[in-house]
Structure 1
């Protein structure tokens, strides 16, 4: 099947039904639709099916420019049709002669046919089709009926009305809403609408599999389900635009086929109407007031009438909105204009947009021909606002244009460097960074180096993992800035934010010295830098005031559209368990409409969601999140950013007993990190190896690995991973015969105030106290206190481990409390089973057998009570008829995550299909 027929199952079925009608009784069907919607493809497929069914197939078509003699289309049809039967009918021969088609019979003057004119020709065509169908049915396929000449249109419309009952058929395609001589009133109609979003995406993936996801989304938005547009628009893009390494233009270029499809209604409009359309197209937002004001000297609302009648635009005076019927109609209007006309329209729009600064400067920039520092400055300021609201591509494009308009070389170089920086930190265009930086250096070798240094460092860090070089470049540029530092200098703040990530991945205390030196140079240290330094840089030494700042930063992040601010606060919160409130904004960044425009924040958001999924026990979702993060990172060459996702993926493998997969990822981490001195990545591997060993009961090996991260009894500066392995270190030390070291580690955690850092760490400290308690009588109240910690069910893996340790202690006590032990061991086994933590569930099962008898079957992994709040929400939306993709968009999830949840929901509700969801939820009173 032609790729353009993807998603056309309903339309194809209607054509198939029509062919069946033709075979039995005959008839006509008119297929209506917008240009490029796929009418011709449907007719071609129908004609092919008709031939395969043994029908005689005739074809006719209108031509766009109908300046042809009467009966032109009909003449072309009949000239290609065998007319041997006409020789036996003088009336038929005479009628056909009227169209200019010669026959073997004597020509009869058409004027003697009683004045019946078109009717006699229609009689002839019907007779011809019935004659052709003596042995088999005949089908006449008429394409582009809106362009038929008047005489042919009249005849074919009359023929269509006479075909029912003849055993012959006519399938007609015509443009919806277009002026036409073909009168299809009273004929059966079938309207072909736009493709669904799912079908549009499938078509693009089938024909253009290499398109970047954000490019695919943009093309889908502009095509609005038009198959021709979906097939043609990608071919008009450059290779860099198709891979999203270059920003696409505001108005997409049209191929000749698209221009022919969408421009036909524009070319014949009055000049004033075309100018109004150009102003509206360049305004872009549908603001009728601005458009009318900009075009006031050329026309008013009256001059819109031809465009409205032609179906090009819709105007709502009550709301002040103007809409093009299709986005590509706007592109066609722009394509048909000259550069001078566009600049003039932009100048008029700039004057009309005085109260809309960002829109005004965009028009000023497009109208400018020569360098203009005032416009360049305004454009740079607008780019900063664009970046703050998450429009990375718009910000980069604005800075590049500002550079073009900069009269001074230094300003041009600085703006190019800022564009390179935003491309690296926001949009994901790492490959463009070297070219922009080279251009900046060529323009002005002595220009301000900080933006260039930041862009270079980001490129070195994310693209190559060259931590030490990135650190040298950044610290030298930061140190060269005038002192004292200005807390309002956004470029300097971005430089320091980048330095934080360099120090983090380097994982060495000496790297942080330059950061601390820089903080000391501020007249007033910005709050976000204070938070980052304390709660992310060295959380073991943070104090209550730092936690209060972090909580305030989390609250503020809930009310910002700036993706960089959200992920930076999320990073600061990630080691001290404050990610939960940020889940929704993080999902919006990772899966929302702008995810493809803001690549690096999207990668970071997905990794942070992996962190949260790990602690929350959503281990089926975590691999999906990690895979999405890895895909983005690999496509955009952010090699460094793959390792946090691989670390968390390896952690799940380790906890679930897939030691081979976990160790394979550890090998990769260690090999990559070694030559780059990326100490944090090596610590990731050490933690995963410790988890594998703990699951296997190899506590000596586990202790060796955790103490390579942080020696027992200490929380070294800037080793934030030490907070994550607290319980692992205590348990490994205790079970490997190092009780004193375990006690020292608990004391060090309490001295560091970690019980005040987060609720989870406080919970684990209580559990560690219970583990180290001397006798059963001392341990029991401590275990009970730990397990009664409010909200501890939010950390199921940690909670299950404490249940297991408590059950083991009860079973081994001087007076074994077997019944109580069984309760805790069964609860541990249930949670481990839910998580899929096989080696841990096996440990719990072994202890249960030692208590006497097999473990009772768990009832908590099935049934409605086992559904999580998120699963209830997904199930309710699915029961309401939403597709997985629609649910994903609504909840800011991956479609695969939705699918995974539904796969788990069905057995819990005792159903096997989506169709049974509504009844199942209704019976539970959840609808």
Structure 2
């Protein structure tokens, strides 16, 4: 019957198997087919199609259906089959056998029983009796049974069918067949939620609307399907309750929770779960759950709203008592509307924070809105509203600002509102959020009276910090507050610490006096922890100059190393102090340790997708690029910038000044001098526009001097070097002076250059800036060598190699080693008394006082190779060891010259 296929899309294979069975019966062979499958998979539809096909082939077709309501009626199924063959009730086994035999005498016969597992025991016995006594006859028998459904009587299907029968297990329809049923709806999503079950697909198709999305399909569920399942499971005591509990618990379902929710004993719950797995209601997997997402939605749709809310509240309590993560508890609290749970507020706030952290802003909004349904004090309500303002602002800035105005307008107590606002302001970090911060500060300050001076001052400080570390317009706007904030002294000890930090920051930004900046920083670090130190902008500047004051640097790390939860949702505990360590090591020239700290933190930021938006993450990436450049890992630095979108045009945010500086440094190191100069000058332009142009922030001029020189712009380089020196004198730290004097030495001629480089070395000797010290020594040694003073150059270059090796800066080691080799006395063939070139080079460096390790690092050899070259030199020179090396080389050089 070819016309049957369109009525059963996706069942061509099964229909072909059934047709082969019918043709086998026509050939005089008794055939038996068992069709099994889950509830709703289409067994009855397939049986009807087979019956139609059989009639078209000339079969007498008689059908019956097993029914739960008739399973206790003796002979119900057999009687319907017998009546279909125009006979009376089958009163005995032999009588039914004779009825079948007589029917076969008139032509081929199809006996079909749907839901055979629900047949009464007598009927099954009659069928089994007849089938064992009819062979080589034109008889086809087709039975259907629900997978996992045990027969109601004592006769099992294997006993009924015997060993020789065909078996077809129906599975879900494929995507093409699903598409034929659901039309324009997303077929893949429809198949995913129903697993291709035709009955579920028909129910789903009735709910589909034009333009439905895949996400909407995943949320659909039919109350009618839920009710039908509930009624079907009614015969299994507790099964419907377990299914309901599983629907409510979702991914939180475990055996103990299902048992508790369903009020059944755990061992019984296990038996019920086993049965539901066999029925294909539950999947045979862990965690426990439904085989079809649509069935779970259907069960939930069948629950009254109040019942579902109460169930979710009970699930939340179970999860809380089990110590489940906040976000899992919050999912149930979100469903427990109108059920008072006072303890839920803090759980929902923590979950909202985590959701914001994970960029699940819709979930964060839902959690906070649910928390606002609880009974709250005015302070608690405002705190929640401000948190909701923040999340809403991240989704829709206009809606966020509207919500802010509404929240502040209804705040009862301005002083209390200011305190709540301060907590919120500390959470804001990105450029767009700075506008929200400034708006909150200004709106609340206008409501505070002169009696609330401290509250007003703190709000203005935080608004200033948020604005100063962002785009130029906001930075200039924030800068208008600087003088009044510095001149006003708050009353509380904590805020006086903040005031000292602000004064320290002001000196650093303006580059006025490192001595005053350090003095104010020491005052700020005297008391308890103050949150202002973990604001990204303050933190960035503080670590720049505190590295030159080791005691303060250590106190600073202790101050920010609190175990308190970070305010910024992009940060984890320990992130700030770990970054402080990384940047402190960078400032000191301890490059490997700096890389370890910064690379680990960048990986954490990267996991959150925060590298492009969070100032702390951008700062971390930029500083790591600096470290990689100093280590000589240029490809890795270039890949890091490209991977995070920092290789092209950058927004005008303060944190990207650091990116421009790092990128310029990389381009300079890889001989892209024009690109380096463009990045460094743009960095300087932005800093100047923000009125932040201090050697304590970014020493961009020193790198720009080198780029100008590489391009032949000597006059421009000299102008920048003079500017740099003037600012360095004003700031006054050895690092700033040493950096500026090196730039001056590179742009000056004759003895003035040497004097500048000697001063630079003097300033940096004893400084914590070891890598800068090594660079100053290198430039001094190189200049002395070029002016014919090789002997004077060697000690400086040897020390440069030593310091560079300690910092593990391969580019600097290479340059210093090349200069040192250039100081070696020349010979006609590059050898001395039979020494090879490499032996001569190694022996010469050893004679100049370098250790085997330093020589190995300078020449990129292993220590073992260095030792072998030295042993060869000792043997050829006829000396015992290193102590005689300098004299032997000198003697043999003199002999060679003579």
Q: TM-score, normalised by structure 2?
A: 0.53
What corresponds to 2:323 in structure 1? 356
Quote the offset at 1:676 in angstroms: 3.8
Distance 2:514 2:367 in 1: 35
Quote the offset at 1:565 in angstroms: 5.0
**Which residue among 282, 287, 312 is the counterpart of 1:346?**
312
After superposition, the C-alpha distances for 1:121-144 in whole angstroms (9 at most, x for unaligned) are: xxxxxxxxxxxxxxxxxxxxxxxx
What corresponds to 1:162 in structure 2? none
Q: Is the 8 A contact 1:505 1:680 kept in 2?
A: yes
Distance 2:772 2:629 in 1: 15
| 2:797 aligned with 1:783 | yes
Question: Please, which moves more after superposition, 648-657 or 729-738?
Answer: 729-738
Distance 1:588 1:707 in 2: 40
Structure 2 residue matching 1:94: 3-state secondary structure: coil
What corresponds to 2:134 in structure 1? none
**Which residue among 559, 573, 580 is the counterpart of 2:595?**
580
Quote the offset at 1:601 in angstroms: 4.8
| 2:81 aligned with 1:94 | no
Cα distance change on mapping 1:279 and 1:778 into 2, 3 Å: same
**Which residue among 430, 440, 445 is the counterpart of 2:407?**
440
**Which residue among 624, 628, 646 is the counterpart of 1:609?**
624
Q: Is the 8 A contact 1:647 1:685 kept in 2?
A: yes
Quote the offset at 1:737 in angstroms: 5.0
What is the correspondence of 1:142-153 to structure 2 with a 5 Å cutoff? none
Distance 2:698 2:530 in 1: 29
Task: State the superposition RMSD in angstroms.
Answer: 6.8
Query: Radius of gyration: which is bigger?
Result: 2
Quote the offset at 1:586 in angstroms: 2.0
Cα distance change on mapping 1:715 and 1:322 into 2, 3 Å: farther
| 2:613 aligned with 1:592 | no
Distance 1:296 1:514 in 2: 68
Distance 1:227 1:648 in 2: 56
After superposition, the C-alpha distances for 1:75-129 in whole angstroms (9 at most, x for unaligned) are: 99x8xxxxxxxxxxx9965359999xxxxxxxxx997797655699xxxxxxxxx
What corresponds to 2:527 in structure 1? 524
Q: Is the 8 A contact 1:730 1:742 kept in 2?
A: yes
**Which residue among 517, 521, 542 is the counterpart of 2:548?**
542
| 2:422 aligned with 1:450 | yes
**Which residue among 472, 483, 486 is the counterpart of 2:492?**
483
Quote the offset at 1:311 in angstroms: 5.0
Q: Is the 8 A contact 1:483 1:521 kept in 2?
A: no
What is the correspondence of 1:636-655 to structure 2 with a 5 Å cutoff? 639-655=653-669
Quote the offset at 1:277 in angstroms: 0.5
Quote the offset at 1:343 in angstroms: 2.4
Aligned pair count? 636
Cα distance change on mapping 1:684 and 1:345 into 2, 3 Å: farther
Cα distance change on mapping 1:808 and 1:773 into 2, 3 Å: same
Q: TM-score, normalised by structure 1?
A: 0.51
Quote the offset at 1:801 in angstroms: 3.0
What is the correspondence of 1:242-641 to structure 2 with a 5 Å cutoff? 254-255=216-217, 270-281=239-250, 284-285=251-252, 288-296=255-263, 301-302=269-270, 303-311=272-280, 322-324=287-289, 332=297, 336=301, 339-352=305-318, 353-354=320-321, 356=323, 359=326, 362=330, 367=336, 369=338, 375-377=344-346, 379-380=348-349, 401-403=370-372, 405=374, 407-418=376-387, 434=401, 437-444=404-411, 446=414, 447-448=417-418, 449-454=421-426, 455=428, 456=437, 457=463, 460=467, 464-465=471-472, 466-470=474-478, 483-485=492-494, 520=523, 524-526=527-529, 536-539=542-545, 542-546=548-552, 548=554, 563-564=575-576, 566-567=578-579, 569-571=581-583, 573-577=585-589, 578-592=593-607, 601-630=616-645, 639-641=653-655
Q: Is the 8 A contact 1:633 1:641 kept in 2?
A: no
Distance 1:117 1:677 in 2: 98
> Which is bigger in relative contact order (C-alpha 8 A, separation at least 6)?
1
Q: Is the 8 A contact 1:610 1:625 kept in 2?
A: yes
Q: Is the 8 A contact 2:505 2:542 kept in 1?
A: no
Q: Is the 8 A contact 1:519 1:525 kept in 2?
A: no
Query: Gaps (5+ residues) in structure 1?
Result: 1-18, 29-60, 79-89, 100-108, 121-145, 151-175, 196-207, 209-218, 229-241, 243-251, 828-857, 866-927
**Which residue among 760, 776, 780 is the counterpart of 2:771?**
760
What corresponds to 1:904 in structure 2? none
Cα distance change on mapping 1:190 and 1:394 into 2, 3 Å: same
Quote the offset at 1:191 in angstroms: 11
Quote the offset at 1:396 in angstroms: 7.6
What is the correspondence of 1:672-821 to structure 2 with a 5 Å cutoff? 672-673=686-687, 675-679=689-693, 686-696=701-711, 701-711=716-726, 714=729, 716=731, 730-732=745-747, 737-750=752-765, 753-754=766-767, 757=768, 759-764=770-775, 766-767=777-778, 770-771=781-782, 775-789=789-803, 791-792=805-806, 794-807=808-821
Q: Is the 8 A contact 2:626 2:666 kept in 1?
A: no
Distance 1:720 1:423 in 2: 45
Quote the offset at 1:323 in angstroms: 3.8
After superposition, the C-alpha distances for 1:604-660 in whole angstroms (9 at most, x for unaligned) are: 44333323322222211222211333379999x895444433432333233323344
Query: Gaps (5+ residues) in structure 2?
Result: 1-11, 18-36, 64-85, 87-99, 120-145, 151-156, 176-185, 198-212, 234-238, 429-436, 438-462, 564-570, 843-857, 866-898
Cα distance change on mapping 1:351 and 1:703 into 2, 3 Å: same
Quote the offset at 1:732 in angstroms: 4.4
After superposition, the C-alpha distances for 1:810-851 in whole angstroms (9 at most, x for unaligned) are: 58x9x9997799989999xxxxxxxxxxxxxxxxxxxxxxxx
Quote the offset at 1:385 in angstroms: 8.4
Structure 1 residue matching 2:634: 3-state secondary structure: coil
Cα distance change on mapping 1:380 and 1:690 into 2, 3 Å: same
Distance 1:776 1:632 in 2: 42
Quote the offset at 1:341 in angstroms: 3.6
What corresponds to 2:887 in structure 1? none
Cα distance change on mapping 1:760 and 1:793 into 2, 3 Å: closer
Cα distance change on mapping 1:351 and 1:370 into 2, 3 Å: closer
Structure 2 residue matching 1:767: 3-state secondary structure: helix
What is the correspondence of 1:48-67 to structure 2 with a 5 Å cutoff? 66=42
Distance 1:333 1:512 in 2: 72
After superposition, the C-alpha distances for 1:385-418 in whole angstroms (9 at most, x for unaligned) are: 8999999998787556545546344433333434
Q: Is the 8 A contact 2:261 2:314 kept in 1?
A: yes
After superposition, the C-alpha distances for 1:760-805 in whole angstroms (9 at most, x for unaligned) are: 3454455356456683223213312331347447312222332344
Quote the offset at 1:464 in angstroms: 3.4
Distance 1:459 1:398 in 2: 27
Distance 2:713 2:261 in 1: 77
Quote the offset at 1:579 in angstroms: 1.7
Cα distance change on mapping 1:476 and 1:347 into 2, 3 Å: farther
After superposition, the C-alpha distances for 1:548-594 in whole angstroms (9 at most, x for unaligned) are: 5578899999x975545544554555433452231452242143367
Distance 1:323 1:288 in 2: 8
Distance 2:737 2:298 in 1: 61
Question: Please, which moves more after superposition, 582-591 or 614-623?
Answer: 582-591
Q: Is the 8 A contact 1:607 1:629 kept in 2?
A: no
Structure 2 residue matching 1:614: 3-state secondary structure: helix
Structure 1 residue matching 2:58: 3-state secondary structure: helix
After superposition, the C-alpha distances for 1:317-367 in whole angstroms (9 at most, x for unaligned) are: xxxx74447896798478645543442123213433336286497355653
Cα distance change on mapping 1:114 and 1:679 into 2, 3 Å: farther
Structure 2 residue matching 1:630: 3-state secondary structure: coil
Q: Is the 8 A contact 2:276 2:282 kept in 1?
A: yes
